[in-house]
Amino acid sequence: MKLPNEITVEVAYALPDEQLIIPTKVSEGATAEQAIITSGILNKFPEIDLNTNKIGIFGKLTRLDTVLRHMDRVEIYRPLIADPKEVRKQRAADGKIMKKGGGDIAE
């Protein structure tokens, strides 16, 4: 049941082998940071550091103090393990042929 000054948002975080999306109810005017804390996701993934992890709403980078709207999805991003440009350079240096989507063409 939705209270008059309450909105529902989702907080999402993904690892290579696990994804979690937590529906969370917060007060109107709540920030992305408040939703993340309310969701409890920081307890499940203690490696998340809001001082270093970037966040976004529906794939668009945003700040912790961004005020949320009903049905927003706050996404917590992990740092990249490898720079995509460097991976492409290394493949080119190794002489691998790439197809659209970055996979190798079978010969």
Predicted structure pTM score: 0.73
**Could you tell me what percent of the chain has a pLDDT over 90?**
64
Question: What was the pLDDT predicted at 25?
Answer: 97
Question: In angstroms, how far is CA 17 from the centroid of its own chain?
Answer: 14
Reported as a single tens digit per residue, the pLDDT across 10-57 is 999 999 899 999 999 999 999 999 999 999 999 999 999 999 999 999
pLDDT at 16: 87
Can you list the domains of the chain with their CATH numbers?
6-76 (3.10.20.280)
Q: What is the pLDDT of residue 79?
A: 81
- Identify the three-state secondary structure at position 96: coil
| Residue 97 confidence (pLDDT) | 59
> Which DSSP letter does residue 78 get?
P
Query: How confident is the model over 63-92, as pLDDT tens digits?
Result: 999 999 999 999 999 987 667 777 777 777
